[in-house]
Structure 1
Amino acid sequence: MSEKLKNAFPSNWVGLSPARFRKYKTWINAVKPGICGTYVAAVILHDVFNQSYGIDLEKEKLITGLKTVIDDTFPYKGTFPWDVWHGLDWVLKDNADFSVKIHFVPERKVISLLNRKNPIPVAVGTATLFGSPYKNHWVVVYAYGYNQEGKLFFKAYDNHGRYTAILPASQTIGCVWIEPN
């Protein structure tokens, strides 16, 4: 690898280990048009139940159930931050252990959530408007880092089959997470 390419990405990451998200590399969104918001909601819900209760929720039931309250609720195509928030909030409405939060500027919010004693993975939207090669998409960010030039990057699961995707934070907008109460 060239020195320039090596320095383009962070060498140190803060947050959660990629190993925790390896199991999701088989959670691939093959639906056309995509339902990436549903997939990231399923991953953060699965992760919180697994970490908090030791429960391994079934992938297909999560995807099917969340799709009805995220991708099928509103009359427009695409998934916005409020769609992901709405779906997770609806699913967790009777669970006093958690609440669902939303923010529209991921950079600072993601850093604060990953700097906690118990870091929290975050559903983060990418945007064509900001030059994302992902276009308008959703990922689960679990770590962040700065490269040698001071540019902020996120490490994430994406629902294209990668669990160690690296993307510039400047290409993101909107984030949703599950907050322990």
Structure 2
Amino acid sequence: MLLLSYKDSILTSRGRLEDWRMDTIHWHGIAQERFKRYEKWINTDGQLCGSYAAAVFLAYLQDYEPPFHLPRFVRQMDSADGENLVHYLRLFIQPLGLATIPLQVSWGISRFCRYMDQPYWARLTPIGGWERTVKRIDQGLPLIVGLNKKLGSTYGNHWVVAYAYGEDQNGKRWVKVHDNWGNYRAVVPAKWLMSTVSFKEIGEIKQTNEN
């Protein structure tokens, strides 16, 4: 558990990323510095957030969660260059470059893993975003989460990678994410969360190795 008080960035209703002073929050999860490597993995197209979120998610697993790995022709371990990985994932998730629904993201990642000879299957949860986020992060793993415009998301409908969660002194829940808009430590309200995409199998392998 981390007890932090600091400035973070949140997308305001005016559409800008601004510094925002948060109250003291008890954070649980992965250190944000691990995601700085992927800071410049920015979705400039506007429709490819599913592929970019998948790239950050899989790159993190390659860098920090063996036995997951990627071939060197797709991405070298610890590389700050994600262009090639995004390219390959787009072929499986967004071949037409259109916005994605949750099933396309999970199915596309699963097909990509099979193609890369990785025995992992992406698990989709269409609702219960907060509960799944807490469960996966407590396993020490990031996950892809969908932010829903109808739930108040000022990103609109958008895919991000969540890696920490917390509550402020008023009991309000927050999630720290890599937003693929240029901010690897964005903080969003948990009420924006809808669907999630994650790997159950890596958590099981990790627990087995620790026993």
Q: 2:164 aligns with which of 143, 149, 166?
A: 143
Aligned Cα root-mean-square deviation (Å): 2.0
Larger RCO, structures 1/2 (Cα 8 Å, 6+ apart): 1
1:103 corresponds in structure 2 to 125
Q: TM-score by structure 1 length?
A: 0.86
1:63 is aligned to 2:86: yes
Structure 1 vs Structure 2: percent identity of aligned residues? 31
Indicate the residue corresponding to 1:115 in structure 2. Answer: 138
> 2:57 corresponds to which residue?
44
Q: Does the Cα contact within 8 Å between 1:157 and 1:165 map onto a contact in 2?
A: yes
Structure 1 residue 73 displacement after superposition: 5.9
Flag structure 1 segments of 5+ consecutive residues without an equivalent: none
Stretches of 4+ aligned residues off by more than 6 angstroms:
none
Deviation at 1:114, TM superposition (A): 1.1
Secondary structure at the residue paired with 2:144?
strand
Structure 2 residue runs without a partner (length 5+): 1-5, 7-20, 70-76, 206-211
Candidates 19, 26, 32, aligned match of 1:18: 32
- Is structure 2 residue 22 aligned with structure 1 residue 6? yes
What's the CA shift string for 1:103-129, capped at 9, x where partnerless? 12211011011112xx11010011111
What TM-score does the superposition give when structure 2 sets the normalisation length? 0.74
